[in-house]
Amino acid sequence: MKTNPLVVTENKQKLSFDNTEIAFKSKTDTDLKQAYWLFKLIASNTLVKIGSPLTNLALKIGLPIKGIIKKTIFHHFCGGETIQDCEQAIESLAEYNVHTILDYSVEEEATEAAFDATCQEILSTIARAKDDPRIPSSVFKPSGLSRVELIEKINNKEELSPSEVQEFERVKQRIDLICRTCYENDQLVLIDAEFSWTQDVFDDIAREMMQKYNHERAIVYNTYQLYRHDKLASLKADFYYADTAGFYLGAKLVRGAYMEIERERAEEKGYPSPIQPDKAASDRDFDAAILFCLDHLDRIGFMAGTHNEASSQLLTEEMNKRAIQNSHSNIYFAQLLGMSDHLSFNLSAAGYNVAKYMPYGPIVSVMPYLMRRAQENTSVAGQTSRELSLITKEIERRKENR
C-alpha cells in the first residue's frame, strides 16, 4: 500500500470545523471573493434552474462564454480540462496533506466508441496515480462505460438479444479492466453510484469485482447511497456475504445525489419511492453505516463521502473512543473540490486521511456535471449558507489581522 511521505502529528482534541484560518489557508483573497460570489449565485434556486439550460444552450450553439465559465464555476469546482491541467491543483492540495481523486466527469455519452474512450481515460488516471501517494484512489461512473437503456433492461430482468448480450459483456470487460489495473497497481478504485433503476446491475458487478480483487485488502469500493431506505441493509448484507466468501468489503458511504429525480420518476411511474421519507432518516442511516463499518474495521475499508459536519464529527469521536489511529488505512474522509474546505483541511491538519474529488474534462462535456452539482447545493438546506458564512468569517478575520 502507498505510504504518505507527509507525516502529520495526531491532535484529535484541537479539531474544529469552525477554524477558517486552516480551512482557507490555501486560498488567496481573490479566491475567497470569487468563491463568495459564486456561492451567492448558487444560493439562488431560481437562478440555477434558469441558468443551467441557458448555459448549456449557449455552449451548444457556440456563444463565446467558455472563457467566463472556465474562470468562474469551472475553476472553482474542477481541476482542469485534462489530467495535466490538474497538476497545479493536486500540488496545492498536497501542501496541506489533502489527497486527490481524479474524477473524469464527462457524462451523457451513448456510443461504444465513447465508452471505450472513457475507459481509456480512466486507465490514464490510474497510470497517473501509480506510485504517487497524493492520489490514493481512482474512480469511475459505470454509466460512463455503458448504455443506460441496456442496463435498465437488465435491471428489469428483460430478455436480451444476442447483440445486447455481447454489448453487456463489453461493459463488464471495461469495468474488470479498470479494477484489475488498480489491483495490479495496489490502488483503490471507487465505483460511483447510479439511479435506482440501474443500480442493482452495477451492485452485482461491484460484488463480483470485490470477490475477485479484495482478498488481501479492500481495493474495489462500491458506493452506498444512504438517502435510499434500503441501502443500510444492502451494506450489511454485502458485508456478511464478503465475510462468508472470504474477501474484504470496500464501501464508500454517501447520502446521495439524485433525490428529486428519483422521487419524480417514482411518482410518474407509480412505484414506491426508494428515497428516505425525510433528511433525518438519511442522517440516521448514514451514521449507522459509519458505526457498522467501524464495528467491522478489520474486514471493511470505507470512505465517508460527506459534507455533513455532524457525521464527520461522529466519525472522529468514535475513532477517538475506540482508540483508532487518525491515519488508519481503512478509513478515509472525502469531499468535492471547491466545497466544505472547513471539513477537508481541518481534518487533514488533525492527521486524518482526506481526499478531494477533483472533476476534470472538456468544459462543454463537464457542464452537465457542474449544473447538477449547483442544483444539488440549492436543494440541501443550509449547505450554501454555511459555505457563505465561513467564507465571510475568513474574509473578516484577514481584515482584522492586517
CATH of the domain at 124: 3.20.20.220
User: Does residue 382 lie in a domain region?
Assistant: no
Query: Which residue stretches of 185-296 are H helix?
Result: 196-213, 231-245, 259-269, 279-295
User: Does residue 32 lie in a domain region?
Assistant: no
User: Does residue 40 lie in a domain region?
Assistant: no
pLDDT of residue 64: 62
pLDDT of residue 5: 38
User: Does residue 17 lie in a domain region?
Assistant: yes
Give me the amino acid identity at 379.
Answer: S
User: Does residue 389 lie in a domain region?
Assistant: no
pLDDT of residue 73: 84
User: Does residue 295 lie in a domain region?
Assistant: yes
Give the Cα separation of 317 and 323 in Å (integer).
Answer: 10
User: Does residue 59 lie in a domain region?
Assistant: no
pLDDT of residue 374: 65
Strands (E), 275-348: 300-305, 331-336
User: Does residue 58 lie in a domain region?
Assistant: no
Number of compact structural domains in the chain: 1
Q: What is the pTM of this model?
A: 0.92
No. of helices (H) and no. of strands (E), the chain: 17, 8
pLDDT of residue 375: 63
Domain extent at residue 169: 12-27+80-372
Residues 6+ apart with CB under 8 A from 353: 99, 136, 326, 327, 328, 329, 331, 332, 333
For 242-274, the pLDDT digits (tens) are 999 999 999 999 998 788 889 999 999 999 999
Query: Which residues, given as ranges, of the chain have pLDDT below 70?
Result: 1-13, 45-65, 108, 373-382
pLDDT of residue 9: 40
The three cell numbers locating residue 370:
457542474
For 297-346, the pLDDT digits (tens) are 999 999 999 999 999 999 999 999 999 999 999 999 999 999 999 999 99
Give the Cα separation of 97 and 81 in Å (integer).
Answer: 24
